[in-house]
Amino acid sequence: MKPAAQNPAPADAAERRAVKPVICYPTETLPSPDMPCYLNARSQLSGTETLRIPAREARVFQVPAGSFFRILSVEGPQVGDLNLFNRHNPEEHFYSGKTRALHGTHLSTGDRLWSNFPYLRPLATITHDTLDWYGFDQDGGSVHDVIGTRCDPYTHQLLSGDAYHNCCHSNLYRAFSAATGIEASRVERLVHDVLNVFMCTGFTQDTHQYFMKASPVRPGDYLEFFAEVDLTGVLSACPGGDCGNEHSSDKADCYPLEVQILTPAPGTLEGWQSPTPSNYHHPD
Ligand SMILES: [Zn+2]
């Protein structure tokens, strides 16, 4: 708990609090994704590859620009921690914080996964979400968040004193290092805050702390993305399982996840162009 305020409220406190909030990043001027184009393309998909991510491990997958990929729940409720990289330049990767600033705390169909500076372009667009019925629950929780980071052994050790080696952070960098040959110490710095796929989270109404509750995901549910650029994805099947109790341990029931790479029929992406990086340049 935070200590009580040490300063008395000023006479005009109510007035100061009553000013209207404004949206930090109004999205009216944000180039909107051409959803009819994506929906047309996704109506004729053929599967090219399926990958299974074992429980408490991570795997790397490649998605060519112009293809789709799905993350599926297959055997039981399971949360996944997703990193995305530009396949040709791992320094360009998913930027959870700016994605949150643009699209809000939880993502669904039509939202995009933006890359870091100095690139700032959509790496992927969400094209289908079988959990879009969930909305926000009575606790203020929702699914697919960009407010958490990724479970990691440093915070776990800080809070518990224990060392746990299969946190998503560790799984992600081990898998990425093994697949790319980039040494683990450099890869660890490239691993970034994730999209928490299927995870149900929010902030408590009393203390405003980050909470999780058991994911509503069930086998057959999936989150589908369109790859705007050539992507390397890394997905960890979180040791927290459905994240209904605890993560960073082997206590939860954990299940594998599946990634499907899907290719649209030729000619169905008429008018789509892979986005270019930001054209902003520093004056110096
Ligand atoms: Zn995790």
DSSP states of 67-87:
-EEEEEE-SS---EEEEEEET
Output the CA 262–ligand 1 centroid distance in Å: 26
Output the CA 172–ligand 1 centroid distance in Å: 10
pLDDT in tens, 192-206: 999 999 999 999 999
Closest CA to 109 of 68, 66, 60: 68
pLDDT in tens, 153-195: 999 999 999 999 999 999 999 999 999 999 988 999 999 999 9
Output the CA 240–ligand 1 centroid distance in Å: 6
Closest CA to 226 of 42, 8, 95, 7: 42
Per-residue pLDDT, 223: 98
Please tell me whether the overall predicted TM-score, pTM, comes out greater than 0.85 for this model.
yes
Strand partners, 211: 202
How confident is the prediction for the chain on average, in pLDDT?
96
**Residue with token string 């330049």:** 89
Output the CA 178–ligand 1 centroid distance in Å: 19
Output the CA 200–ligand 1 centroid distance in Å: 13
101 near 24, Cβ under 8 Å? yes
**Residue with token string 């450099």:** 186
Cα(98)–Cα(113) distance, integer angstroms: 9
pLDDT in tens, 138-148: 999 999 999 99
Per-residue pLDDT, 57: 97
Per-residue pLDDT, 108: 98
pLDDT at 1 over 80: no
- For helices 153-160 and 168-180, the axis angle rounded to 10 degrees is 150
Angstrom distances, CA of residue 48 to CA of 15, 38, 63, 64, 227: 59, 18, 10, 11, 14
